Amino acid sequence: MKKILLPLLAGLAAFPGCNTPPPRTDPFEGIQAAGSSRYNNLSVAIMPSKNTEKAIAYLRSRIGGMGNMDSGPIYQEITDAIQATFGRVVKVASLQDVPGSQSDLAAVVDIYPQKGEFAAQMDAKVILLTPDGRQLDEFNGHGEQRIAFTLLPHMTETMAGAARKAAAQLKTAFLASTALAEFAKTKAAPPSGVAAGGPTPTPVSVARSDVDTPTYGGQERPDHFALVVGIEKYSALPEAQFAERDTAAVKRHLLALGYPERNILYLTGPQASRAALAKNLESWLPRNVDENGTVFFYYSGHGAPDAKTGEAYLLPWDADAQSLEFTAYPIKRLYEKLNALKARKIIVALDSCFSGAGGRSVLAQGARPLVTKIDTGSDAAGKLVVFTAAAADEITGTAQEEGHGLFTYNFLKGLNANNGSVTVKNLYEYLLPKVQDAARRSNRDQTPQLIPPDLKERASLGLR
């Protein structure tokens, strides 16, 4: 091979007027697998995150003078991969611009630079959101996704070459995404009662809230961990309206508070099964949290009381209201497992209720509509600080125009109002009257609870 190849290279180098040849790429790049197809029926609005804007500016200032090691190709290659996958692509500046773009999905490109010893390393991901702000899928190097999105330029591989490889992986990941395939099928099918080619249905109004985006930001805190769980559409239970929008907004606020992305366990939909909840709560957190750590547990979804014992349960995606003992997760067990962690601070926020009378609570079929005495596990709270959305005998409500649970909306609004720097006690004093007032206007009672109720000794315990 060397006897053939070397003379050939020498001849090319001597060819008159020869410019530098284009870089060699994967020969299968851009060639779709048999049986696959582009999502021609979907339109996507692309936007860079704040991280991306900062990353581009950072890299240009740091390595812009090092020949072809520029940051420009990274964002461009990723957007080109999105362009090659979907039928129509538009670029917008923010999520607020998505409704006006008439797009089916929003694609947030999030690029974050990490300082390496010899080179600039880039971690990148693409987050697909539905128009109502629900996360459809996320493509990065973590979890069960099919893409290793770490860009590391060095002496033999430029930033552009690494970006092309990542973009090729992204195309493959789009085609392998079950969530995206299901969404495309839904968009392709005509609405019930409307024949294909018939009149276009009236667009659904999409809620936008002032708490969806944090108004603050903080330094990353490696010892902060979070388990964030949200179930809106259950396998066999009624829908918990806005639960996944709640969860997505809470995650964004945790990131702004300095919780590292890698330290946030994010479970929604089928991923929020009982087995997954138990695995992450009882195995992953104990393995990773140390005595200096802070842990934040958030849950948005249905709760339920055992009709016989009154014991309160959280309902994972696969829960069966007729068999809580085997399919749901007891509040007391939640508190016990969190208390067993070595962490210095543990904060719990539950946007759920346990009365069985409505809101974010359900009751086994045939049981009486209200369990008179509900055990919410407060005696097992121990060192935890716990926010609950309502008293044991009350139901939760939603902030309909904001597209969030009433409790979560005011919880996050309190963080924004204080730029993320607020004590637990002050946050509770902020949200309590607001939730109570909004509930009274709907002719009901909702009283968020704080455990322990007297925080004199822990008044300085902050979320940040």
In a domain, 361, yes or no: yes
Same domain, 164 and 298: no
Q: Which of 137, 167, 187 is the last residue of a domain?
A: 187
Q: Which helix (H) or strand (E) holds 286?
A: helix 285-288
Same domain, 93 and 153: yes
> What pLDDT, on a 0 to 100 scale, did the predictor assign at position 119?
46
Beta strands in 80-237 (DSSP E): 86-91, 105-115, 120-129, 135-139, 150-151, 224-230
Same domain, 157 and 270: no
Same domain, 289 and 428: yes
Number of domains into which the chain is organized: 2
> What pLDDT, on a 0 to 100 scale, did the predictor assign at position 17?
46
In a domain, 182, yes or no: yes
> What pLDDT, on a 0 to 100 scale, did the predictor assign at position 371?
46
Q: Would you call 269 helix, strand, or coil by DSSP?
A: helix
Count of H-run helices and E-run strands, the chain? 13, 17
- Cα separation, 159 vs 148, in Å, equals 15
Cα dist from 410 to 78, 88, 268, 352, 406, whole Å: 36, 37, 21, 14, 6
Same domain, 148 and 242: no
Domain that holds residue 100: 36-187
> What pLDDT, on a 0 to 100 scale, did the predictor assign at position 362?
62
Helices (H), 124-205: 159-176, 178-188
In a domain, 18, yes or no: no
Q: Name the residue among 396, 372, 207, 208 with its Cα closest to residue 299.
A: 396
Same domain, 254 and 153: no
User: How big is the CA angle at 323 (ends 319 and 328), to the nearest 5 degrees?
Assistant: 40
Read off the pLDDT of residues 190-239 as tens digits, 9 standing for 90 and up: 444 434 444 444 343 445 788 988 988 888 999 999 999 999 989 888 88
Q: Which of 141, 161, 187 is the last residue of a domain?
A: 187
- The domain that contains 110 carries what CATH number? 3.40.50
**Is the backbone of residue 124 left (phi > 0), alpha (psi -120 to 50) or beta?**
beta
> What pLDDT, on a 0 to 100 scale, did the predictor assign at position 114?
58
Same domain, 423 and 357: yes
Same domain, 155 and 282: no
Same domain, 324 and 395: yes
> What pLDDT, on a 0 to 100 scale, did the predictor assign at position 377?
58
Contacts of residue 356, defined as CB under 8 A and 6 or more positions apart, other chains included, come to 304, 305, 307, 362, 363, 367, 369, 370, 371
- The token pair at 315 is 């309902």
* pLDDT at 348 > cutoff 50: yes
In a domain, 49, yes or no: yes
- Cα separation, 142 vs 147, in Å, equals 8
Same domain, 181 and 242: no
In a domain, 393, yes or no: yes
- The arithmetic mean of pLDDT across residues 390-418, rounded, is 90
> What pLDDT, on a 0 to 100 scale, did the predictor assign at position 345?
93
Q: 346, 339 in Cβ contact below 8 A?
A: yes
> What pLDDT, on a 0 to 100 scale, did the predictor assign at position 361?
61
* pLDDT at 455 > cutoff 80: no
- The token pair at 293 is 């750590």
Query: Using omega within 30 degrees of 0 as the cis cutoff, is the peptide bond preceding 452 cis?
Result: yes
Q: Which of 167, 187, 207 is the last residue of a domain?
A: 187
Same domain, 257 and 144: no
